[in-house]
Amino acid sequence: MAGPWWRLCRRWAIGGATTTLSETLRCFSGGPASSSACPLGRASWSSGAGDERRPSFSPQTHSKAFHLSSSGLRRAPRCSCRATHSDARPEDPFTLAQKDLSSLYDDIKKELFVSTKELKHLCDYYFDGKGKAIRPIIVILMSRALNIHSNKAGDLLPGQRTIAMISEMIHTASLVHDDVIDSSDERRGKRSINDVWGQKKAILAGDFILSAATTALARVGDSTVVKVLSQAIEDLVRGEFMQLGSKENENERFKHYLDKTFKKTASLMAHSCKAVSILVSSDPDVHEIAYQYGRNVGIAFQLVDDVLDFTSGADQLGKPTAADLKLGLATGPVLFACQQFPELHAMIMRRFSSRGDVDRAWQYVLQSDGVQQTTFLARRYCEEAIRQISLLRPSHERDALIRLTQIVLSRNK
């Protein structure tokens, strides 16, 4: 074997090859290192944690007829329309979803009604309309695209709009708790809740937001939807526990990182998309398309976020740079940089706790191709998201979801 499975991405990234995500991950699986063996292969999936799967491959089968599935490798669904997106520039997803988003935060604040004035102020603090709102945007556009695909009107169903709201509430509750765990003093360009009101009150506020989200979820009235979104909440907790640990083995370390990335970021997007698909369609293939779009965009979103920790200033991110290193976290750019600077391994194991570790690790990453490698991997996940969503019937909303993948890759905050 030429090296750890995740290192094998390097020659494809530098070579500028236009391989698909499955082909790229085939290289990651630790299969044959020769260029003749890596580009094509028969894929099979081995179980990972939760809904994640890692591929392993044997040579000589084209992978175009297959798609990535949370339940294993499956043939691409036989939808009535397989037209891929056109080259025409699709509508801006934020503009297209604006009408539905305009009252979203007001409705969330209604869900957070509580007679205690201070608790109400804490709960409303992050729902000021200044966040990215990426999750509700995805859910709204996915809902309309799925409704059109299922030969229904593009209007949102009441339950779908509620899920968009719930996704933002669950996400925000997780941010409140994350800031407590990380002792963060800044969020979205302003003081964090825990910095203003203290750790104890911040924990209670996060708990209350989450309880309000689950109450709204119960009103949707679909037991399958409740189960799907409950899995996303469980994954958030499991992902946070994974982030508190690390792996000595190099191969396990990168898989651990991707599993954690799925649970902490992508799971909520994936399961929210699946939830709205359940409300409009009984076709499991449609559910899978929605899930896989959310999953792949979610992983790409976090990979880009990890890159921005090294490439953007605090004024752009709304949080201090090198925040992950200061928290002892080895993200994609660091893990890729290890192949050029083995000195990073010891730093990772001690979670950058020795004097000068953060600065040295920062310099090693910038001197390596770790940022480029992570960006390349994010692009591959976005390509898979596009492939999945392109299986739906053409619509402005479907094309806006395609456009959203480009925005995820090019964002600077």
For the chain, which domains are there? Answer: 7-62 (no CATH), 93-410 (1.10.600.10)
Q: Print pLDDT tens along the chain (413 aa).
A: 344 433 444 333 333 333 334 444 443 433 333 333 332 222 333 333 334 433 332 222 223 333 333 333 333 344 434 444 444 455 788 888 888 887 888 889 888 888 788 888 888 888 877 777 899 999 999 999 999 999 878 788 999 999 999 999 999 999 999 999 988 888 877 888 999 899 999 999 999 999 999 999 999 989 999 999 999 999 999 999 998 877 667 778 899 999 999 999 999 999 999 999 999 999 999 999 999 999 999 999 999 999 999 988 645 555 557 788 999 999 999 999 999 999 999 999 999 999 999 999 999 999 999 999 999 999 999 999 999 999 999 999 999 999 999 999 998 77
The torsion angles phi and psi of 187, rounded to 5 degrees, stand at -155, 125
What local confidence, expressed as pLDDT, does residue 139 receive? 97
What local confidence, expressed as pLDDT, does residue 320 receive? 52
DSSP 25-85: HHHHTT---STTTSSS-EEEEEE-STT-EEEEEESS---TTEE--TTS-EEPP--S--PPP
What local confidence, expressed as pLDDT, does residue 413 receive? 73
**Tokens for 398?**
């479907």
Q: How far is CA 342 from CA 50, 286, 348, in A?
A: 31, 44, 10
Residue 259, C-beta contacts closer than 8 angstroms, at least 6 positions apart:
48, 49, 50, 52, 242
The torsion angles phi and psi of 212, rounded to 5 degrees, stand at -65, -35
Rounded to whole angstroms, the Cα distance separating 394 from 280 reads: 17
What local confidence, expressed as pLDDT, does residue 55 receive? 33
What local confidence, expressed as pLDDT, does residue 286 receive? 96
Rounded to whole angstroms, the Cα distance separating 292 from 380 reads: 13
What local confidence, expressed as pLDDT, does residue 299 receive? 98
98, HSE (Cβ side, Cα atoms, 13 Å):
5
What local confidence, expressed as pLDDT, does residue 184 receive? 86
What local confidence, expressed as pLDDT, does residue 252 receive? 85
What local confidence, expressed as pLDDT, does residue 72 receive? 33
The torsion angles phi and psi of 92, rounded to 5 degrees, stand at -65, 125
